[in-house]
Amino acid sequence: MLLVFFSLSACTKDVQDNLDDIAWTAKTNVQNTKDYIAEKIALEEKLALLEVQKQKFSLPSRAKQLNITTPEGMTLDQNSSYQTSEEVEWFNSMRFVYTWDYKLAMKQAEIIAQKAWVQISEEFKLAQDTLKKMWKNTLDQLKDMVWDLKWVVYTNYSIIKNPETDQIISISVEEDWTLEIVVVDRKNMQNVVLDKIK
């Protein structure tokens, strides 16, 4: 994540330096004014695009307000990560996916969940307990087996019950070692879905 941010920042600085260079050239040579304007417009468009890219892969302020943090030591998967905005899609949401290794993903998920006051999902607990009982009932000889599922889900809501929270938060680690952070504006998303059903 930081690597992506710093490389985008370096590109932004290069474009800004180019803008400064052509501005100085235009001031010293009147004949190049038309070229300067065309090049300036192109560079300003590139600068704006770089700023959009930086914002796209930066943790939004609404997530920070919920005490969501970025995982340390993990890499953002840009192809799997995205954000929506109220201005374009009618509701705010983010899905950021990070990769590295399983142990780090599990540790970082726990840290982020604790900071955001998000508990292990009721559904996850139920699945884990059911699996333990199933194996214990059928294979008593494997008493020393590790019963933990190789993934975890932290949520601030329950799928079984109707979510009452305005912001749905899900922090999960999948068996492929990816850590996924999802934050969705539940009320606005629900309104969008209901409008489409009508």
How many angstroms separate the Cα of 185 from the Cα of each of 71, 88, 127, 160, 165? Answer: 22, 14, 27, 19, 9
pLDDT tens, residue by residue, 99-116 = 999 999 999 999 999 999
Residue 8's pLDDT is 46
Pick from 151, 104, 87, 143: which is nearest to 125 by CA? Answer: 151
pLDDT tens, residue by residue, 38-92 = 777 777 777 666 565 555 667 888 888 999 999 999 998 988 988 888 887 888 8
Residue 2's pLDDT is 38
Residue 170's pLDDT is 93
Residue 138's pLDDT is 58
Q: Is the pLDDT of residue 31 over 60?
A: no
**What is d(CA 138, CA 128) in angstroms, rounded to the nearest whole number?**
16
For residue 163, give every residue at least 6 positions away whose Cβ sits within 8 Å of its Cβ, in sequence order, or none.
Answer: 157, 186
**What is d(CA 30, CA 75) in angstroms, rounded to the nearest whole number?**
48
Phi/psi at 137 (5° precision): -70, -30
Strand partners, 185: 167
What mean pLDDT value characterizes the chain? 76
pTM exceeds cut of 0.75: no
Where are the chain's structural domains? 1-58, 60-197
**What is d(CA 88, CA 194) in angstroms, rounded to the nearest whole number?**
17
The residue length of the chain stands at: 198
Top pLDDT among 146 and 83 is at 83
Highest mean pLDDT: which of 83-87, 116-120, 144-148?
116-120
> Percent of the chain scored above 70 by pLDDT?
66
**What is d(CA 59, CA 44) in angstroms, rounded to the nearest whole number?**
24
